[in-house]
Amino acid sequence: MSSSTITTKSLITEAVTQSATMTRLLKSYVCGDWYEGTGRRNQLFNPTTEEVIGEATTGGLDYAAALDYARNVGGAALRKMTFAQRGEMLAAMASAIHEHRDELLDLATESCGNTRGDAKFDVDGATGTLAAYAKMAKGLGDAKFLLDGENIRISRSPRYVGRHVMLPRKGVAIHINAFNFPAWGFAEKAAVALLAGMPVITKPATATAVLAERIVEILVNSDVMPAGAFSFVAGSAGDMLDHVTGQDVIAFTGSAATGAIIRGGAAVIKNSVRVNVEADSLNAAVLGPDVKVESPTWDLFMRDVHTDMTQKVGQKCTAIRRVFVPADKIDAVREELSQTLQSTRVGNPAIRLVRVGPLASKAQLDDVQAGIQKLAEVAEIVSGEVGPGELYDLPSGKGYFQQPVLLQANEPEKAGVVHEHEVFGPVATLMPYNGEASEAARLVCLGGGGLVASVYTDNRDFASDCMVEMAPAHGRLTFGSKKVAEHAYGPGMVLPQLVHGGPGRAGAGEELGGIRGMSLYMQRTAIQGDEPMLAKLFEDGTTAG
Ligand code: NAP
């Protein structure tokens, strides 16, 4: 376990309060009803003002019963529905959330410290992902399961054939999410599992669960999901994972340390439970040697690095952390980026002019500041410093603020910690390379496996070499060039159509990716038999795509 994780956990523990105060207690939604936990509570804070805005506890929650209810009631109901009907449900969920958009954006600002733009990224990302899967469901029509490939002749008789089918697993999909995306994080997992036909129990990170709880309340009140299809946990996972069975699926997003604990759970190991982990990632951006200062591709590169350092205060698993630049351009990049960062407003996230709000919690602030100091042992801080800096429209001196910090490590090879330690905040490190694709790829791969890497070039040979060398270590590669300079999404944007996940340090998970994401929640089974019988068995199936 990393020292930063220990810091996080101990700070959360310190925040525990014994007494029932006037503060609102968040509720879980299990077994078709709202549940108020008992016993010790965790406090939740407004990251801008440090005021307590809620409390959470799952004390007394009967996880065994909650999981059984989801499996037996929700699973049975979902499996009876066609893909089209499940898609209609997802569309209704998206509409219900969208109807409360303004309220949710305000709540994201209050409970997560999001600027308006950051709040939209999370909340609209949730509705967008649900809507995208609703649309994909239409293409699957009235089928209830997937057929994988065509009939395969497996003997001398043409009548004896085999084919693969994918049916929803008969357990519950347990979704454990990180603090940074309480809206999108729930939706990107739930959309896929529900479309596949599995009931969901979702557990947001406690620190930002206020927004997730309100979304669940909206969904429950809108009555768009069958009973048992959706459950929600506000607070600690308690002994939930002691009750998992071989038909359940755990999809986890968070730190590598927690991912390892979850993977190592006794019931998880005993029952060979399928676990998907989305963890840390030291995402890299590479500027190609062909890119000239102030060209469209240069501008795109500068924009993407700046966006990733500042959007959501750098609290994005996909944010660029390492920036590799040909040695002869590093001064120009540093100067332009530093100027942009220094003119970026940090402060009250409720004010439209502000681009960078507070980090989500005191624990995150402490982790990020300790992380900058760790990086500074091997790299020089070239813009910003540890501390909030001048805050816009915030005279109180309160809040979990950290200004953007750019570092530079002139010998990337010797900057071990830069490639190993993810500082989950508005922080990136600039490093030179010799302009060759193989060298850029070698340095990028020191990150040990990542969610995404981005390459900015108009030279297709350079791009091709980067792809071959870098793709095996990444879940996604994004190429920025002048042809898409005006349209390209930055690497930080996760899209429902493309896979999200990465090997090694990133957890070796894979989510989304359109219809292929459903395979996490379905069992692929080979079926052998006579052709007319198989034709009958496959009547309720369809081939994906
Ligand atoms: P975290 O401390 O690992 O917590 C993640 C989730 O796990 C929370 O819901 C947490 O609940 C829960 N949890 C903690 N201990 C658990 C246990 N023993 N059993 C079951 N659940 C447990 O991570 P975080 O601080 O929220 O998120 C930051 C990290 O997430 C960063 O390292 C970042 O890279 C990573 N991340 C990755 C992705 C991705 O897609 N790859 C996306 C976002 C973030 P409590 O809050 O109740 O403790």
Count of residues making up the chain: 545
Average pLDDT over residues 120-130: 97
Ligand 1: does its nearest atom lie under 6 Å from the Cβ of 214? no
Q: How far apart are CA 540 and CA 416, in angstroms?
A: 54
Q: How far apart are CA 97 and CA 142, in angstroms?
A: 26
Average pLDDT over residues 80-88: 98
pLDDT value of position 3: 38
pLDDT tens by residue, 474-522: 999 999 999 999 888 899 999 999 999 999 999 999 999 999 999 999 9
Side-chain half-sphere of 180: how many Cα atoms within 13 Å?
Answer: 21
Going by their DSSP bridges, the two strands 230-232 and 200-203 should be labelled as parallel
- For residues 366 and 11, the answer to whether their CB atoms sit within 8 Å is yes
**SS3 of residue 54 by DSSP:** strand
pLDDT value of position 20: 40
Tokens representing residue 356 in the block: 């960078």
What string of DSSP letters covers 222-288? HT-S-TTSEEE--S--TTGGGG--TT-EEEEES-HHHHHHHHT-HHHHHTT-EEEEE-----EEEE-
pLDDT tens by residue, 97-116: 999 999 999 999 999 999 99
- Please state which CATH number belongs to domain 284-497: 3.40.309.10
pLDDT value of position 544: 75
Query: Cα torsion at 492, 493, 499, 502 (round to 10°)?
Result: 10
pLDDT tens by residue, 444-464: 999 999 999 999 999 999 999
Residue 424 has pLDDT above 90, yes or no: yes
| Of 282, 264, 185, 269, residue with least CA distance to 504 | 282
pLDDT value of position 22: 57
| Of 128, 129, 138, residue with least CA distance to 88 | 138
Candidates 55, 112, 188, 317; catalytic one: 317
pLDDT value of position 234: 97
* Interacting residues of 11 by C-beta distance below 8 A, sequence separation 6+: 361, 362, 363, 366
| Of 311, 321, 385, 336, residue with least CA distance to 125 | 311
Residue 396 has pLDDT above 50, yes or no: yes
Ligand 1: does its nearest atom lie under 6 Å from the Cβ of 176? yes
Q: How far apart are CA 543 and CA 545, in angstroms?
A: 6
Ligand 1: does its nearest atom lie under 6 Å from the Cβ of 451? yes
Atom number, ligand 1, closest to the C-alpha of residue 424: 31
Atom number, ligand 1, closest to the C-alpha of residue 280: 34
**Phi and psi torsions of 121, nearest 5°:** -55, -40
Is residue 36 annotated as a catalytic residue, yes or no? no
pLDDT value of position 545: 60
pLDDT value of position 345: 96
Provide the residue ranges of all domains of the chain, joining segments of one domain with +: 25-279+510-543, 284-497
The fold of 25-279+510-543 is Aldehyde Dehydrogenase; Chain A, domain 1 (3.40.605)
- Give the model's confidence band at 226: pLDDT under 50 very low, under 70 low, under 90 confident, else very high: very high
Residue 473 has pLDDT above 70, yes or no: yes
Helices 116-140 and 184-196: crossing angle, nearest 10°?
10
Q: How far apart are CA 35 and CA 58, in angstroms?
A: 9
What's the Cα-to-Cα distance from 141 to each of 496, 513, 523, 540, rounded to whole Å? Answer: 19, 19, 20, 10
* Beta partners for residue 252, in sequence order: 176, 277
Q: How far is CA 371 from the centre of its chain?
A: 21
Burial class (CB in 10 A: 0-12, 13-18, 19+), 411: exposed
* Interacting residues of 230 by C-beta distance below 8 A, sequence separation 6+: 29, 74, 190, 194, 199, 200, 201, 202, 216, 219, 220
| Of 350, 494, 356, residue with least CA distance to 425 | 356
* Interacting residues of 9 by C-beta distance below 8 A, sequence separation 6+: none
Ligand 1: does its nearest atom lie under 6 Å from the Cβ of 360? no
Tokens representing residue 439 in the block: 């060298």
**SS3 of residue 441 by DSSP:** helix
pLDDT value of position 5: 38
The amino acid at residue 72 is N
pLDDT value of position 17: 40
| Of 72, 29, 21, residue with least CA distance to 51 | 21
How far, in Å, is the centroid of ligand 1 from the Cα of 280?
A: 10
How far, in Å, is the centroid of ligand 1 from the Cα of 3?
A: 15
Is residue 420 annotated as a catalytic residue, yes or no? no
Q: What share of the chain is helix, strand, coil (3-state, %, to 5)?
A: 45, 20, 35
- For residues 95 and 141, the answer to whether their CB atoms sit within 8 Å is no
- For residues 227 and 198, the answer to whether their CB atoms sit within 8 Å is no
How far, in Å, is the centroid of ligand 1 from the Cα of 276?
A: 13
Ligand 1: does its nearest atom lie under 6 Å from the Cβ of 419? no
| Of 1, 523, 524, residue with least CA distance to 262 | 1
> Which of 3-17, 259-273, 277-291, 421-435 has the weakest average pLDDT?
3-17
Ligand 1: does its nearest atom lie under 6 Å from the Cβ of 406? no
Q: Which of 1, 13, 258 to mutate to test the pocket of ligand 1 (most atoms within 8 A of CB)?
A: 258
* Interacting residues of 114 by C-beta distance below 8 A, sequence separation 6+: 105, 108, 121, 122, 312, 349, 357
| Of 477, 452, 476, residue with least CA distance to 466 | 477
| Of 26, 2, 86, 476, residue with least CA distance to 261 | 2
Tell me which residue has tokens 């970026």: 344
Ligand 1: does its nearest atom lie under 6 Å from the Cβ of 145? no
Atom number, ligand 1, closest to the C-alpha of residue 254: 30
pLDDT tens by residue, 166-214: 999 999 999 999 999 999 999 999 999 999 999 999 999 999 999 999 9
Residue 289 has pLDDT above 80, yes or no: yes
**Residue 223 CB coordination number (10 Å):** 10
pLDDT tens by residue, 340-382: 999 999 999 999 999 999 999 999 999 999 999 999 999 999 9
pLDDT tens by residue, 292-349: 999 999 999 999 999 999 999 999 999 999 999 999 999 999 999 999 999 999 999 9
Residue 25 has pLDDT above 60, yes or no: yes
Atom number, ligand 1, closest to the C-alpha of residue 278: 41
HEC profile of 472-523:
HHEEEEEEECHHHCCCCCCCCCCCCCCEECCCHHHCCCCEECHHHHHHHHEE
pLDDT value of position 397: 82
Tokens representing residue 374 in the block: 């760790």
